Amino acid sequence: MDSACPAGTVSPLQYRGGALHLERVALEAVAQRFGTPCYVYSRAAIEAAYRAYDAAFGDRLHRVCYAVKANSNLAVLNVLAHLGAGFDVVSGGELARVLRAGSKADRVVFSGVGKSAAELRQALAAGIACFNVESAAELERLNQVAGEMGLRAPVALRVNPDVDAGTHPYISTGLKENKFGIPAGDALALYRRAASLPGLRVQGIACHIGSQLTDLAPLREAAGRIAALREALLAESIAIDQVDLGGGLGIAYRDETIPGAAEYAAAISAPFAGSGVEISIEPGRSIVGPAGVLLTRVEYLKPGAQRNFAIVDAAMNDLLRPALYDAHHAVLPLREAGGEAKVWELVGPVCESGDFLAHARTLALAEGDLLALRDAGAYGFAMSSNYNTRPRPAEVMVDGDRIHLIRARETLDDLWRGEEMLAE
């Protein structure tokens, strides 16, 4: 059960005495204590995944900036901050979370296509490390805001290298038809403009070609194109000290073969050999994805002529990825059991036909059984909602044999806090 973990690490999930454990904690105990649905994360797995990336670059100048959008719980961010991680944020809210979790602003890069003037002011006042600028319009706005504040904003242009990462179209970010980044053909002229603006300090180049990458070839191609652009900029006396090469590796949701962190680091670093530039990466999914599970309970079994439905208490509002991407999450019973196995559709109680968590899974099920959906640490709780007026689940982190509640389950009062009825 360790295929989803970074190379060189061991899965935090193991059956012991017939009971599924995360680290040394029986997940049944978590479900009994905090109820279901419930997200549970392994601190050891998060730390091991970060350290694998950090060690992979050896003595080369580098920075591993965790992509906060994958999982923004304060406890997760705090664990990574203690390890010395940098952070990649895409909103003012994420920046505030990172600072609240104990990181310093000078370890933060700010990406995203729609930064507001208020967010630019917030990040400048905090003193972030770099803005990854994604359009000519943003460049002009940032220059204006920085000038009004009497500051110079550190910038990299996020260049779209037009490389096909071969991922789901919803998570592809490096093609010319995507909304992200600056077209490669426009980059040189826009760098000239950036270098001429008094409110900006050009220091880097950024790119990001997509998420859930399992093949190093597109990453090599993108890195090569960024290296060529850097050489062209140096020829025009525009110094580039940093290159941000985007997200990290994918994870094995099914049976994907994932390169090791050392292979990944070598592939993206090769075009910059001997240059002395700092290489930054922005992994998110591969750091927290395999570290987390979503616990759910079988409410009803509904056999049918065409399909057998197992109706569980988790739903698309808790874990959106299957409904949004048709994403696959392995399903494990919390207790190894015998009995007759059947093929089940795992569906939730939300009033949508698209409310499913898993298709055609062969399981021996009974009402009341507890299940774990694997690899749910990334884009699970972070994408959850209150659709159908459903409180969002609790979040728990295990550390060895210790259990920590890191977010309480929402109450109904939480759901309508801030709302007001009309006066009669």
Statement to judge: residues 109 and 258 lie in one domain: yes
**Total of domains in the chain:** 2
Residue at which a domain ends, from 270, 285, 300: 285
Tens of pLDDT, residue by residue over 238-261, are 999 999 999 889 999 998 899 999
Residue at which a domain ends, from 285, 317, 334: 285
Looking at residue 6, what is its pLDDT?
A: 44
**Active site includes 65?**
no
List binding-site positions for substrate. Answer: 285, 321, 325, 352, 379
List binding-site positions. Answer: 248, 282-285, 321, 325, 352, 379
Which token pair is 210? 């997509």
Statement to judge: residues 169 and 270 lie in one domain: yes
Statement to judge: residues 258 and 354 lie in one domain: no
Statement to judge: residues 334 and 314 lie in one domain: yes
- Cα gap 176→162, rounded to integer Å: 5
The verdict on residue 363 lying in a domain is: yes
Looking at residue 1, what is its pLDDT?
A: 39
Look at the alpha carbons of 99, 102, 108, 112 in this order and tell me if their dihedral is positive or negative: negative
Residue closest to 154 by CA, chosen among 126, 187, 173? 126
Looking at residue 168, what is its pLDDT?
A: 40
- The pair phi, psi for residue 191, each rounded to 5°, is -65, -40
- List the strands of the sheet with 13-16, edge to edge: 13-16, 19-22, 25-26
The verdict on residue 5 lying in a domain is: no
Q: Split the chain (424 residues) into runs of 10 and give each run's mean pLDDT.
A: 44 93 98 98 98 96 97 98 98 98 98 96 98 97 98 96 58 53 93 98 93 88 94 95 92 92 96 95 97 98 94 98 95 90 97 96 96 98 98 98 98 96 89
CATH number at residue 272: 3.20.20.10
* Catalytic hit among 5, 38, 207, 351: 351
- The pair phi, psi for residue 155, each rounded to 5°, is -130, 150
Looking at residue 424, what is its pLDDT?
A: 79
Which token pair is 80? 């990574």
Per-residue CA distances from 226 to 9, 72, 213, 221, 246 (Å): 31, 29, 18, 9, 12
What is the number of alpha carbons within 13 Å of residue 381 lying toward its C-beta? Answer: 29
The verdict on residue 296 lying in a domain is: yes
- Its domain, for residue 89, covers 43-285
Bridge partners, residue 294, by sequence: 39, 373
Tens of pLDDT, residue by residue over 72-103, are 999 999 999 999 999 999 999 999 999 999 99
Looking at residue 162, what is its pLDDT?
A: 77
Statement to judge: residues 138 and 151 lie in one domain: yes
Looking at residue 63, what is its pLDDT?
A: 97
Residue at which a domain ends, from 234, 262, 285: 285
Looking at residue 177, what is its pLDDT?
A: 53
Statement to judge: residues 212 and 311 lie in one domain: no
Statement to judge: residues 107 and 79 lie in one domain: yes
Statement to judge: residues 238 and 353 lie in one domain: no
Looking at residue 165, what is its pLDDT?
A: 52
CATH number at residue 24: 2.40.37.10
List binding-site positions for pyridoxal 5'-phosphate. Answer: 248, 282-285, 379
Which token pair is 281? 């990466």
> How do beta strands 13-16 and 19-22 pair?
antiparallel
Bridge partners, residue 331, by sequence: 373
Per-residue CA distances from 120 to 108, 128, 341, 368 (Å): 13, 10, 55, 50
